[in-house]
Chains A and B, each alone.
Chain A
Amino acid sequence: MLTILNTSLIGITAGSIYSLMALALVLVWRSTRVVNFAQAGQAILSTYIGYEVISRTNNYWLALPVALVAGAVIGALVDALLIRSLTKRSANGPLASIAPIIATLGLLGVIRSVVGMIWGGDLRQYKAPVSNIGFTFGHTTIPFSRYNLLIVITTIVVMIVFTVIFQKTSLGLALRAAAFQPETARLAGVKVDRIRTVGWAFAGATGAVAGVLITPQSGLSPNSLDSLLIYGFVAAVIGGLESLIGAAVGGLVLGVGLAFIREYVNSNLEFPSTFVVLLLVLLIKPGGIIAARRGRSA
C-alpha cells in the first residue's frame, strides 16, 4: 500500500514537469500550428541564464523569475524573427508542410551549440532552494520532499494563471480567436501576428519554468532537457495537443504511469513504454485521451 502511494507521489512530481513542457508545446501549437521542437533549446538557454543568476547571487528565488522572463523574451524573438517570416515564405512547395518542423529543429541545433560554446558540455548542478529530503511521518520517510511540493504547487499555479488568462481576460479571448479563426480575428481587429508572438512568449516562459524546476534533480548540460521534450510531446499528444487541461492531465498520466512501470515492471522499460503509449494514442485515439472537440489537422 505504501509502495503504491510512494510510486504515485514520484509520478505526480515527474508528471507535473512533463505537464509544464506539454503546456509549452500546446501554447505554441494553438497559436501557430507548429510543434516547437526548439522548445528544449529555448528552455535550456533560459535555464542556463537562471543558473548564472544562481551561481552569482546564490539566490534561487531570483533565478526563477529571471529565467522566466528570459524564456518569454527568447520565445517572442523566435516567433518574431524566424517563424513569422517562415510561415509567410513557405506557403507551398514540397517542403511546405514540414518547413516549420525543420526550422525549429535547426533552431534547436543552433541554440544547443551556442549554449555549448558558452558554457561547455560539463554537467552542472545547483541546489534546490528547499529541502530535497522526503517528509517523515512517524518512522516512514516518503519520497516526496518540500522541493517536490514546490514543483507541484508551481505547476498548479502556472495552470491556474493560464486558465484565468485564457478564460477571463480580453488578451485570452484574442489568443483563442487568433488560434481558431485567424482571418475572422484579423477582421475583428485582433493583431494576429502580435498575439501569436504573445503565445510564443507564454510558451517560452513555461518551458523555462520547467527547465529551472527539473534541473536540481537532473543536472544541467546542453542536452539535459532532450528527454523532457520527448515526454512533454507525448504528454501533449495524450492530452490532444489542443487543450491546456489536456496537457496537464496528459503529463500526470504519463508521469504516474511511467513511475508504476519503473516500480512494478522494469526500470529499463520506461522509454520503450513511452514510445508504445505514443504510438497507441496516435493510432487508436488520435484526438487525444481528453476528447478534443474536433479532429486534428496537421
Chain B
Amino acid sequence: MRSRLRNLSFVAMGIAAFFIGDHVDELRVTQGMMVIYTVVAICSLVLLTGYSGQISMGHGALMAVGAYSAVLSRTYWHFPLAATFAIAVLGAAIFGALLGVAAGRLKGPYLAGTTLALAFGLPFITSQFSFLKGTQGLPYDLGNAPKSFRDNATEYKWYFWIAALAGLIIIWLLSNLLSSRYGRQWRALRSAPVSAELSGIHIGRSKVLAFTISSGIAGLAGAILAMSVKSAFPDAFPLVLSFTILTGVVLAGTTSLAGALIAGLLLVAIKEDLSGRVTDYFASGPHISDNLPVFITSFLLIVTVLFAPNGPKFRKK
C-alpha cells in the first residue's frame, strides 16, 4: 500500500514537472534544473549521512567526477545523452567506492576533514591532465533538442524534462533501496553499530556500499549540473556547493527524501530569489548581494543544528 502510494507520488511529480516546465519562462526552467540537481545531491547525502551515518563535506567533488565522466564520454566517445548519465553514475560510483574503502574506517571529524580536503583539492587536479582542459573546462555537447523545441527557442525546456525524468528515476530507485533490507541495515549500523554487527551485518562492507551508491547518485547530480550550464569546469563545483548540499541534508532532517525536496527548493529559492529581494529592499551594494545567499544558508544551518539537531520533523512514523 505504502509503496503504491509512493509510486503514485513519483508519477504525480513527473506530471507536475512536465506541465510546470511547459508553462514557465526560460529563467524559471534553468532554476528548475538547479532545484533538480540540488535535490538529487541532497538525496545522495540522505543515504550517506541519514542512513549509514557517515559525513561528507566533499560531495561537490563527487558531482564533479560525475560531470566530467559524462562530458568526457560524450566528447571522446560520442555516447548518447542517456548513456552519458549512466557513465556519470558509474564513474562517480567507482571513485566513491575507492574513497569509501578509506572512508569506512574513518570516524566523524577525520572523515569530514578528508572529504573537505577532497572538495578543496579536486579542482587542482583538472589542471594536471591536458584532456580536462584546466579552468576553462569541457563543453557538454547535448545534441539537438527535437525540432518543435528548437523552433520555439526553448531547448532548455527539453533539458529540464530530461533532468526531471533522470532525477525522478534515481530518487525512485533510492527510495525503494532505502525501504529495502539495505536501508534497514544502514539504519541499524548507524544507530547501534555493535548490535548491528552482532546480528550479522558486515559494517565495513555496508558503509562502503553506502558510500558507493551515494557517490553514484551525486555523480548524476553532477551530470545534470553540467547539462544546465552546458559544460563541465572546475569552478562549477566550488566548496560552497558541497556546503550547500550538506546544509540541505540537515534541513531535510537527514533521513527524509521528501524533506530533501523541500530543502532543495528552499536553498535554490534563497540563492536565486530571496537574496535578491532582500538586497533590493535594503538597496544594498554588490558586497552584500554576493554574500547574502551563503550567509542565509549558513545561518539556517547553525540554527537548525542548534534548535532541531535531528532536523525538522518531516519523517512519518
Contact = CB atoms under 8 A, between A and B. Distances in A.
A36 to B, nearest CB: 10
Interface residues of B, dominant DSSP? helix
B54 to A, nearest CB: 9
Interface in A42-76: none
Q: Which of B105, B125, B291 has most A Cβ within 10 Å?
A: B291
Interface in A81-105: 82, 85-86, 89-90, 93-99, 101-103, 105
Contacts of A85: 306
Contact of B295 (A98, A103, A110, A279): A110
B67 to A, nearest CB: 19
Contact of B102 (A226, A237, A279): A279
Contacts of B118: 275
A237 B113 contact: yes
B311 A95 contact: yes
B213 interface: no
B34 interface: no
A35 B53 CA distance: 18
Given A116-B287, A226-B120, A271-B121, A106 B114 contact: no
Q: Which of A86, A90, A94, A237 has most B Cβ within 10 Å?
A: A94
A101 B243 contact: no
A95 B294 CA distance: 22
A120 interface: yes
Contacts, number: 164
Interface residues of A, number: 57
Nearest to B254: A94
A120 B284 CA distance: 13
B112 interface: yes
A110 B306 contact: no
A268 B124 contact: yes
B121 A94 contact: no
B298 A107 contact: yes
A279 B298 contact: no
A230 B120 contact: yes
A227 B120 CA distance: 8
B49 interface: yes
Interface in B97-129: 102, 105-110, 112-114, 116-118, 120-121, 124-125, 127-128
Nearest to A98: B55
Interface of A: 29, 34-35, 37, 82, 85-86, 89-90, 93-99, 101-103, 105-110, 112-114, 116-121, 222-223, 226-227, 230, 233-234, 237, 268-272, 274-275, 278-279, 282-283, 286, 296-298
14 contacts: A29-B109, A34-B109, A37-B116, A101-B57, A105-B57, A117-B292, A120-B286, A226-B120, A233-B113, A272-B128, A275-B117, A282-B106, A297-B107, A298-B107
